[in-house]
């Protein structure tokens, strides 16, 4: 697998991509890049006005862009269900790019009562993916493959899953809960691909991370405005941060189960390629336990059996 940049993205005519959180930052850069390659891009966002404004910006650069808006709030399982039902009306979906997320907000909760970071970043992604799998399977059967892209983070390296404190009732710290949610993303992507392979599915699950990129995700970080000009000189731009997701969604060299991300110093910036997983992220028992807990919490079951030989939860 060679390093991947935006220059390696080839024509995507006839293909359809759903990109969550596509109205700004990395999500917008992903949508813009795909539209430039003639893909149909569905922008799945909470705010319709902001999504429409993002679509107008893309059309200004690419007048023939094929775009649509999908209302989606990953902090509300009812919204996730409704979004999946609307997405199912698409004739095909070649890739679901799970990009939306929140980072280090004060302790707060989703509409369903989950701690915000775990609820939006992991449970919302888990639920949306599970509900969209039937159309992805149909696309894969008809056209040869489809993909699920899950956005993790280098922050997962310090993450641990505190199953006894997922709601923060026994103490909450912003960054550890973010790290937990990003470890959950990586565990989910890996477990999903294992189960898809066991089911002989042609849907591939691939994880990615954007390095450390400028995006609205950092809006809750104290002193962000003060340091943004300095960070802009040393970290990924949103366009560069989009490269790993674009690789995960489109690189024909990937066979499923990979984890790709920025390969520069400390994995903070640069072209996309194979990324480092922590020991916890490689633990199949932990991944299966998280899967089962996620089914229980969301009430949504992807309907995929564990891969043979996996340990019990």
Query: Catalytic pick from 143, 172, 178, 259?
Result: 178
pTM, 2 dp = 0.94
How much is the pLDDT for 227?
44
What are the structural domain ranges in the chain? 6-298
How much is the pLDDT for 309?
72
Q: 6-298 in CATH: which number?
A: 3.40.50.720
| pLDDT average per 10 residues of sequence, the chain (313 residues) | 91 98 98 98 98 98 98 98 98 98 97 98 98 98 98 98 98 98 98 98 98 64 48 76 98 98 91 97 98 98 89 45
The verdict on whether 259 is a catalytic residue reads no
DSSP string, the chain: ---B-GGG----TT-EEEEETTTSHHHHHHHHHHHHTT-EEEEEES-HHHHHHHHHHHHHH-TT-EEEEEE--TT-HHHHHHHHHHHTTSS--SEEEE-----SPSS-B-TTS-BHHIIIIIIIHHHHHHHHHHHHHHHHHHHS-EEEEEE--GGGGG----GGGTTSTT---HHHHHHHHHHHHHHHHHHHHHHHHHTT-SEEEEEEE--SB-SGGGGGSTTHHHHHHHHHHHSB-HHHHTHHHHHHHH-TT--SS-EEEE-SGGGSSSSEEE----TGGG-HHHHHHHHHHHHHHH------PPPTTPPP-
How much is the pLDDT for 230?
44
How much is the pLDDT for 272?
97
């Amino acid at each position: 697998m060679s390093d991947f940049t935006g220059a390696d993205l080839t024509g995507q005519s006839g293909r359809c991509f759903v990109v969550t959180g596509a109205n700004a930052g990395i999500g917008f850069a992903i949508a813009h890049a795909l539209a430039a390659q003639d893909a149909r891009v569905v922008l799945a966002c909470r705010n319709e006005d902001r999504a429409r404004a993002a679509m107008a910006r893309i059309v200004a650069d690419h007048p023939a862009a094929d775009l649509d808006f999908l209302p989606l709030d990953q902090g509300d399982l009812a919204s996730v269900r409704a979004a999946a039902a609307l997405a199912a009306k698409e004739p095909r979906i070649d890739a679901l790019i799970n990009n939306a997320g929140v980072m280090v907000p004060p302790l707060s909760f989703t509409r369903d009562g989950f701690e915000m970071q775990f609820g939006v970043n992991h449970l919302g992604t888990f639920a949306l993916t599970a509900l969209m799998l039937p159309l992805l399977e149909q696309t894969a059967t008809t056209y040869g493959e489809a993909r699920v892209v899950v956005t993790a983070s280098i922050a997962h390296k310090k993450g641990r899953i505190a199953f006894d404190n997922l709601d923060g009732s026994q103490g909450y710290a912003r960054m550890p809960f973010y790290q937990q949610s990003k470890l959950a993303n990586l565990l989910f992507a890996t477990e999903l691909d294992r189960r898809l392979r066991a089911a002989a599915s042609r849907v591939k699950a691939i994880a990615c991370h954007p390095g450390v990129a400028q995006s609205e995700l950092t809006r809750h970080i104290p002193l962000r405005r003060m340091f943004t000009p300095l960070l802009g000189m040393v970290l990924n731009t949103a366009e560069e941060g989009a490269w790993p997701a674009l690789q995960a969604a489109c690189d024909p060299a990937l066979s499923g189960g990979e984890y790709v991300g920025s390969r520069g110093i400390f994995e903070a910036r640069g072209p996309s390629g194979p990324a480092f997983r922590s020991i916890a992220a490689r633990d199949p028992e932990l991944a299966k336990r998280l899967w089962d807990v996620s089914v229980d919490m969301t009430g949504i079951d992807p309907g995929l059996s564990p891969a043979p030989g996996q340990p019990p939860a």
